[in-house]
Amino acid sequence: MARIVQSLTQPLPEYDQQVQQSFVRDVDSVVQKLNTSFQQEIKEEAEALALFLG
């Protein structure tokens, strides 16, 4: 599995909408990276199996 490096915005003592929105963007970025790397792994496994069986 690929290593994913992503820093997350740290919360402030008081609620701040901009900080919360930044945190949501950070988490969305992690989800996107996970989805992309997972799809790539499935593709690589399928190619390896086809090579093995072919």
What pLDDT shows up at residue 2? Answer: 63
Per the document, the length of the chain is 54
Collapsed DSSP state (helix, strand, coil) of residue 6 = coil
What pLDDT shows up at residue 14? Answer: 94
Model pLDDT for residues 4-50, shown as the tens digit of each residue = 788 899 989 999 999 999 999 999 999 998 888 877 788 888 899 88
Confidence band of 1 (pLDDT split at 50, 70, 90): low
CA distance 19 to 24: 9
Report whether 27 contacts 8 (CB < 8 A). Answer: yes
